[in-house]
Each structure stands twice: as C-alpha cells, then as structure tokens.
Amino acid sequence: MTVPAASSQAVRLDRVTVHYREIVAVQNVSLTLAAGEILALLGPSGCGKTTLLRSIAGFVPHSGEIHVGGKPMARVASHRRNIGMVFQDYALFPHMTVAQNVGFGLKMRGLSRAAIVSQVGEMLALVGLEGFQERMVRQLSGGQQQRVALARALVIKPALLLLDEPLSALDKKLREEMRGELKRIQRLTGVTTIFVTHDQDEALALADRLALMHRGTLLQFGGPEEVYRRPAGHFVAEFLGAANRASAACREVGPDFTLLELPGAGLIKTAIRPAEVSVGQSVVLYVRPEQIRVTSEDVRDQGQGLPATLVGRTYLGRHRELTLRLRNGAHWMAHVADDDALSKLKIGATVVLQTDPARVIVFGDAEDGASQGRPAPVSPA
C-alpha cells in the first residue's frame, strides 16, 4: 500500500481565498497537515468547507498557495495532482462495471491491463468487495457504492485523499459502520486525508486534526480534544457540542481558581488564572452538558454549586438528558449516566449542579453571541 510521503508537511494551505463574484467563499485559510493525518473540515452548511476542498482538488480558482506533498499546486491541473476524491454522491460511472470504475485512474495513468486487474483486485479486497468486479454500479447498495468510490480514489496511491461529506448519504447504522471502515482503511494505507463534514460526531471520531470553519474563515485549527476543550470563540464553543451558556461577573480571584457569579443563579468555580481576569469583569461562560454533576446534597457552603430545579428528563439510551432550571430562570442541560441514582429524582426536585473548574469555558464579554470573530479566549489553567 501507499507509503506515507517522506515530507512531514503533506499538505500546506497558505492564505487560500476563494471569491464567487462578490462573495468571499473562503478567506485567508492557512493550515498544515502532516503525512498520514486525517483532517476534518467542519462547519455549518455554507461555511466554505466544500469550496476549500474543491479548491484543493483544483476545481475552484483561488488565490493563496496550496502545496500537496511538498509541491505547489498552482500550475498543476486537477488531473495531474495525484489526488483521490470521494464525492458526496459518489459519482461512480454508471456505464462501467465496478472493476472499470476502480481501474479508471490506473487506465488514465497508462498501466498495463494485467497491472490494473491485479491492483483493482487488491483494492476491492481492502474495501471488502472481493469478487464484485463485474457488477454494475446500479446493482450495489449505498454502502457498497461508497466502498467502490473509496477504492477508486485509493487505487491510484494518491498523495492526498479528499472526501466530500462521505457518510451523509447513508443511514445512521451504516454511517457508524462506514466511519470505522474509513478509519481502518485510512490507517492501513496511511494516506493523508481531508474530509468535509457538518457532523461534529463524525469529525471528532475520525479526525486527527480539526478545522472549524464559519463564513469562509478558519475559526480554529487543532486536535479534536483541544478544539473541544478549549474552543477559540463563542461560535466554536456553541457549534461543537451543545453547551450551556451564561453571562457572569467575576467575584473573587484566588491563586488557584476564580469565582464567577451568575446573576440571580449562584456562584461557579473556574480555573482561570488570576492574570487573565479581574474582579468585577463581566465574562461569558460555557459548560458542556456532560461536564455537569448533578447532586441532591447541599454543597453551596463550599463556595461552589448552582441550585436548580429538575424540570425535564429524557432517556437517550447511553445517558439521560436532564433539563434544569436555574434560580434566574435559565434552562441548562445536563447529561448523566443512565444508572445514576438521579433517575429516581422526581420532576420539581431541587438539586445542585457542580462542574469541574478546569472544564468551564470562559470568554471575555467583549463580543457577544454566536459571532464569527475570535474574542480573546481566557484559557483555563
């Protein structure tokens, strides 16, 4: 299979900008990707992620530089870029057999018939479609078509594999199965991969690196954990994992932690360093539902914990989603383990919410709402 390129920078984008007439679809996107890594381009529809992918493929005129395998792509036509691509609709050739589809790129590269037959056979085995050579594309299920599309893209031993919303056309069960398959095949071939998705679970599960895009700009680029734990702004915090949001004021700055007051709701302990915030400053904080511990004991005297009323409970299999009303009327969500004693709590019961101080995400209040900008993040210790 493909040996990962020697270059540590398999892909480098430098200030890539795409204009559609007056609209800026992609603006100044710069990032680098090491050989063998999987990058997820994540964002809501219309954020420019697909346009960015298409400009890497050479389908969209752009400014800025794109390097693949250490070589600048500016003067390289799409068909000479040695890129494999899986399209959202798979784009399999309907008038060809599975073998002809998979072997297309090899045929274009002038390989001998015997070489094509053997490499197509190997690749079909890799994607789990042994013996499917002579089938017509329309006889295949959605998942099988996906595998053929993947085989067609990988058989040319591409320097880079591009996937445009690869799993969106599949139903949930198949999607999860193919997610595992994609990762397995990618690890086996070691091919550097960029895929576009609007599904954060998919992005977190598959990616080594995550690029979160919004309105054409790259908001944050980093490892999935880093992006999830330390979002670079309001938009990232809200887009990646539903988060409970609240405005707060800084009440007390200690050496290890800072106390924030949610007006009318109580105090919350966070691990911001004293240098980053001063007493009286107003901030916006986010707490992820799975980071909330719900207890019935009163721990407020320890200077932390928000009193709340249980107003709703939804069973979601893996966990329960609790809807809680804070004293100031705001509703927060909490995800708790299914076997928790809390499942016996009655609606209307009074509880206390606790959070790990290090996992509270805090931003200076300079910019409000789901804005695209990057408010100076106040990172937890």
Partner 1 sequence: MRSAGWFARCMTAFVVVCMLVPLLVVIAASFNDSSEVVFPPKGFSLKWYANVFERERFLKSFQFSLLLAVIATLLSLAIGLLCAIALVRYSFTGRDAVSTFLNSPLMVPQVVLGMALLILLSQVGLVSSLLGLGLLHVILTLPYTVRVLSAALVRFPVSLEEAAVIHGANRLSAFMLVTIPCIKPGLVAAAIFAFVTSFDNFTASQFLVWDRTTLPVEIFAYAVTETDPTVCAISTLLIIATIVVVVFAERSVGLETVTE
Task: Work out which of 6, 22, 45, 95 binds partner 1, going by CB under 8 A.
Answer: 95
- Choice between 57 and 213, CB closer to partner 1: 57
DSSP structural state of residue 38: E
Determine the 3-state secondary structure of 326 from DSSP: strand
Cβ of residue 175: shortest distance to partner 1, in angstroms?
20
Residue 331 touching partner 1 (CB under 8 A): no
- Choice between 85 and 243, CB closer to partner 1: 85
Ranges assigned E (strand) in 128-257: 160-164, 193-197, 209-214, 217-222, 244-253
Q: Which stretch binds partner 1 (CB under 8 A): 105-113, 219-227, 298-306, 321-329?
A: 105-113
Q: How far is CA 350 from CA 184, 211, 353, 366, in A?
A: 47, 41, 10, 34
Cβ of residue 185: shortest distance to partner 1, in angstroms?
17
Closest Cα partner for 334 from 379, 375, 293?
293
Asked if residue 240 lies in contact with residue 289, where contact means CB atoms within 8 angstroms, the answer is no
- Choice between 77 and 114, CB closer to partner 1: 77
**C-beta neighbour count of 297 within 10 angstroms:** 9
Closest Cα partner for 1 from 186, 160, 149?
186
Q: How far is CA 197 from CA 42, 44, 92, 193, 237, in A?
A: 5, 9, 20, 13, 17
Residue 195 touching partner 1 (CB under 8 A): no
Using CB under 8 A, count the residues that bind partner 1: 27
Cβ of residue 1: shortest distance to partner 1, in angstroms?
18
Cβ of residue 91: shortest distance to partner 1, in angstroms?
4
Span 135-174, contacts to partner 1 by CB under 8 A: 152-153, 156, 162
- Choice between 162 and 342, CB closer to partner 1: 162
Span 52-91, contacts to partner 1 by CB under 8 A: 57-59, 77-81, 83-85, 87-89, 91
Residue 108 touching partner 1 (CB under 8 A): yes
- Choice between 104 and 332, CB closer to partner 1: 104
Asked if residue 135 lies in contact with residue 143, where contact means CB atoms within 8 angstroms, the answer is no
Residue 280 touching partner 1 (CB under 8 A): no
- Choice between 93 and 315, CB closer to partner 1: 93
Rounded CA separation 371/256 (Å): 30
Determine the 3-state secondary structure of 268 from DSSP: strand
Residue 196 touching partner 1 (CB under 8 A): no
- Choice between 48 and 84, CB closer to partner 1: 84
φ/ψ of residue 85, rounded to 5: -145, 135
Binding residues for partner 1 (CB under 8 A): 57-59, 77-81, 83-85, 87-89, 91-95, 104-105, 108-109, 152-153, 156, 162
